[in-house]
Amino acid sequence: MIRLIGAGLFSLKKRWLPYVLLLLMFGYLGYMSGLGYSSAAADFDTHPELSYSDYAEAEAQSLAEGKTEVKVFYKEYDDQGELESAGHLTLQVGRFDSVLLPTALDGKFGYMNLLVMLLSILAASVVGSEYAQGTLQRAVAKGVPRSSYIISKFAVLAFIAIGFILFCAAFIFISSMITTWLITGGISWNFLTAEFIGSTLLNMAYVFLIAMAYICISAFVAIALKSSIAGILAGFVAFNIEAIMVQMAATSNPTALLGYTLSYNTIYLFNHISSSAANAGVVQSALTNPAQATLALGLYCVLFILTSFIIFREQNITTR
């Protein structure tokens, strides 16, 4: 089994698709991080005499007074040092949370929804190509048990998901370090507590579980139909089309059944990781909770893995 997993990972290193998808994900994360920084930095563009420390001081006072807005006062002087104008900027409390550590990580974890779809594409390609290239037929002909073969494939897909998530988590942490330094002029590491590390690892685990659910769907269809294209389409439909239908149902006529659907639990967990205004009208706390959503997605993984195993065990692999 270990040898099969190692061989699967080694063969994946020689394929171009994982690197392209990872670079695409890095590009997306970089773009979203840059967009967030540009939006935050724009608040001070017209008033270069202000700095983040001015905002932080005013925010602390606003929080103490229970206010949701921050007024940052400024004075502008001409070249001769004479007072030219005075006024204030009105900003929201937490205006810079999306670009400053540690709060920036939660927001950027929400960007990993694209990673889920990319991993489902990769999963369908990895599994489906085994039929097209004849790798599967040769392995079975050499006496590799089908049970070992299919389990090793899902193990390889799990390792791929973990690797992608670790790379993306490192990327968003580094990008958050950069935006924090650019906004505040320095970085304080006081936030590196056991609670913060535990919360970050839990968010990564949520993303992994979500990704595995869609990976298992794509792999299942690729196995059942012996086709990478079919698996990719299945992942796309599950991640996008079903999500649209669930969102429409949740906003118009929410029922308890939504709490058992794949897309609703995915949306719920991503919103749990990083609250989004777009999901405000979709997520209903009465329909599920983090533990129930985790259990539901875990059951989806088990269901599709077992079904894939049953189909593969009886499948005629000599024809496509």
Domain boundaries, the chain: 2-38+97-314, 46-92
- Rounded to whole angstroms, the Cα distance separating 205 from 118 reads 17
Q: Name the residue among 216, 247, 221, 245 with its Cα closest to residue 233.
A: 221
- For 240, residues 6+ apart whose C-beta sits below 8 A from its C-beta are 117
* pLDDT at residue number 40: 83
Q: What is the mean predicted confidence (pLDDT) over 141-150?
A: 80
- For 298, residues 6+ apart whose C-beta sits below 8 A from its C-beta are 209
Q: What is the mean predicted confidence (pLDDT) over 230-248?
A: 88
- Rounded to whole angstroms, the Cα distance separating 97 from 73 reads 20
Q: Do the beta carbons of residue 90 and residue 69 sit within 8 Å? A: yes
Higher pLDDT, 281 or 288: 288
| Structure-token match 């993984």, residue found | 301
Long-range contacts, 221-224 (Cβ 8 Å, 24+):
221/124, 222/123, 222/124, 222/127, 222/128, 223/127, 223/150, 223/308, 223/311, 223/312, 223/315, 224/308, 224/311
Q: Which contiguous run of DSSP H or E holds residue 76?
A: strand 69-77
Range scoring the smallest mean pLDDT among 76-90, 99-113, 210-224, 246-260:
76-90
Residue 137 has, within 13 A of its CA and on its CB side, a CA count of 11
Q: Name the residue among 162, 163, 156, 165 with its Cα closest to residue 123.
A: 156
At residue 217, does pLDDT exceed 90?
A: yes
* pTM check: above 0.75: yes
Q: What is the mean predicted confidence (pLDDT) over 156-179?
A: 94
* pLDDT at residue number 210: 96
Q: What is the mean predicted confidence (pLDDT) over 263-267?
A: 90
Q: Which two tokens stand for residue 316?
A: 């005629």
Strand 69-77, strand 83-92: pairing: antiparallel
Q: What is the mean predicted confidence (pLDDT) over 271-295?
A: 79
Q: What is the mean predicted confidence (pLDDT) over 238-243?
A: 86
* pLDDT at residue number 206: 95
Q: What is the mean predicted confidence (pLDDT) over 295-316?
A: 92
Residue-wise pLDDT tens digits, 42-96: 877 777 777 788 788 878 888 777 788 888 777 776 666 666 667 777 778 878 8
* pLDDT at residue number 63: 79
